Amino acid sequence: MSPSTSGTEFARLHDQLTQKEQLSLTLEALLESIADGVVALDFKGQLTHVSDGLHEPSFGTEPGLPPLVLERLRQEAKEVGTQPRRFELRWSREETGARVYEVVAAAATSRSLHGTDTPTREHLVTLFAFHDRTAMHELSRELERTRDLAALGRMSATVAHELRNPLGVIQGFASLLQRDVEADSDSRSRVEKILQGCDAANRIVEDLLEYSRPVEPRWETISVESLLAEGAASLQVSPRWRNGIVIDMGVERGVPAIRGDRRLLLQALANLLNNAMDAMEDKGSISLRVRSTGGINGRERVRIVIRDSGCGLSAEEVSRVFQPFYTTKPGGTGLGMAIVRRTIEVHGGEIHVVSAQGRGTSVVLDFPAESGAPLRFDPTKERGRALARSADEPRIESHKEAA
């Protein structure tokens, strides 16, 4: 082959490669306009493109996908032929919660002889168009859940009221017996166990009544930073606190206030922080992060992310975490997270959980921002509420994140 012929062949191959790259970019742009997100894998299965809408912040500044999602796409890419392939992908995302996507996969191919008379095809790039179908899936589930919860609430209220009277009688007579028996006798210990059982049953009754009771918030404007500081300080002076746990709080500058009932929100926060601490052994960390995000119709929202370094949850546990009476704790009622969810939703907010076994758990809360300037935060005043009965200063590692 002469040098001129070789140069001509090289130029031809270069033009073909350029055309294929332009075709790939054109297809990606076209899919971006009609889909909720696009992912591209090259012929080696390497990630070459991720839409901004599918990028997860926890994977850094470079485009990235969770390993489970990426592995699923690679498997599907092997099955793509000359016709597009459709499949359903469920993805628990930190930014938007559990999502259900209908994914359409298509491959751009080229013909090659490879030294034989039979043409073969090679995948140059596989494109995945993501269509968010979460709303459709959630609509029917939400209608069913609403009916079930309404019936459950009525039943819970009835059961709680019916149990309260006999429990009061048992507790009253057990208290009388406790005064009549000697302190060091076997009967005294048995009576104490009866009273402990009554206390546990009463806690269940109170949870049932709390769950079935209509929520009537007392609205006020609340600084999110002060809310988290008080909640963290309350945890650190509680009997459950362990010194090996470290709380790290970071708040973006200029985060707006929210509107809500401080007492109800502190109860929800206490439940979430206790769950985070229970998920860890003697040592671990709880991270509290606050930032503002865009919202519907341009209305700003405030996002709170509570992360722990604990044991994490399985996919099944995450899917059931808000179900009433579902619990993984010995002696738990399973109503704590159901009450938390109801509290957040009453405030116009949203809550979802992201977790994996062995990798900790993140609980993400989104609230509508209150219009107006951010409230000024007074750490001494806010933490003093939680530390009024303690001389120990709370050990909170705190910093301000840049906007």
pLDDT tens digits for range 82-107 = 788 999 999 888 777 788 999 999 88
pLDDT for position 162: 80
The DSSP secondary-structure symbol of 388 reads T
Angle between helices 262-278 and 336-346 (to 10 degrees): 140
> 324 versus 56: which is more confidently predicted?
324
Residue 172, Cβ density class (10 Å: 0-12 exposed, 13-18 middle, ≥19 buried):
exposed
Q: Which amino acid is at 33?
A: S
Please tell me whether residues 344 and 250 are part of one structural domain: yes
Beta-ladder partners of 85: 105
- What DSSP line would sit under 144-206, residue for residue? HHHHHHHHHHHHHHHHHHHHHHHHHHHHHHHHHHHHHS-TTSHHHHHHHHHHHHHHHHHHHHH
CATH of the domain at 24: 3.30.450
Bin 244: left if φ > 0, else alpha if -120 < ψ < 50, else beta.
alpha
Does position 124 have pLDDT exceeding 50, yes or no? yes
Q: What is the mean pLDDT of residues 363-377?
A: 75
Please tell me whether residues 154 and 298 are part of one structural domain: no
Radius of gyration, alpha carbons of the chain: 28
Please tell me whether residues 148 and 109 are part of one structural domain: no
Which pLDDT tens digit goes with each residue over 236-249? 988 889 989 999 99
Please tell me whether residues 199 and 334 are part of one structural domain: no
Helix locations, 213-301, DSSP H: 224-236, 262-278
What distance in Å separates the CA atoms of residue 46 and residue 125, rounded to the nearest whole number? 10
Domain boundary among 85, 100, 132: 132
Which pLDDT tens digit goes with each residue over 140-167? 777 776 676 667 667 777 777 788 888 8
> 374 versus 126: which is more confidently predicted?
126
CATH of the domain at 351: 3.30.565.10
Which pLDDT tens digit goes with each residue over 273-317? 999 999 998 889 999 999 998 755 557 899 999 999 999 999 889
pLDDT for position 396: 35
Please tell me whether residues 81 and 193 are part of one structural domain: no
Please tell me whether residues 255 and 203 are part of one structural domain: no
Please tell me whether residues 174 and 100 are part of one structural domain: no
Please tell me whether residues 257 and 350 are part of one structural domain: yes
What distance in Å separates the CA atoms of residue 306 and residue 159, rounded to the nearest whole number? 34
Does position 389 have pLDDT exceeding 70, yes or no? no
Q: Percentage of the chain with pLDDT > 70?
A: 76
What distance in Å separates the CA atoms of residue 91 and residue 99, rounded to the nearest whole number? 5
Distances (CA, A) of 237 to 209, 387, 396: 27, 7, 12
| pLDDT band per the 50, 70, 90 thresholds, residue 59 | low
The DSSP secondary-structure symbol of 87 reads E
Query: Strand 284-293 relative to strand 301-308: parallel, antiparallel, unpaired?
Result: antiparallel
Does position 73 have pLDDT exceeding 90, yes or no? yes
Domain boundary among 132, 162, 187: 132
Q: Which amino acid is at 188?
A: R
Can you read off the two tokens belonging to residue 307? 């992360």
Please tell me whether residues 269 and 397 are part of one structural domain: yes
Domain boundary among 132, 149, 177: 132
Mean pLDDT of the chain: 79
Spatial CB neighbours of 51, under 8 Å, sequence gap ≥ 6:
32, 37, 38, 39, 130
> 13 versus 370: which is more confidently predicted?
370
pLDDT for position 365: 96
Does position 381 have pLDDT exceeding 60, yes or no? no
Can you read off the two tokens belonging to residue 233? 């300080």
> 60 versus 391: which is more confidently predicted?
60
Residue 145, Cβ density class (10 Å: 0-12 exposed, 13-18 middle, ≥19 buried):
middle
Least confident of 22-26, 323-327, 346-350, 380-384: 380-384
Q: What is the mean pLDDT of residues 42-70?
A: 77
Count: domains in the chain: 3
Query: Which domain covers residue 326, as residue numbers?
Result: 220-401
Please tell me whether residues 293 and 227 are part of one structural domain: yes
Assessment of whether the complete model's pTM goes beyond 0.85 = no
What distance in Å separates the CA atoms of residue 160 and residue 381, rounded to the nearest whole number? 38
> 6 versus 265: which is more confidently predicted?
265
What distance in Å separates the CA atoms of residue 303 and residue 295, rounded to the nearest whole number? 11
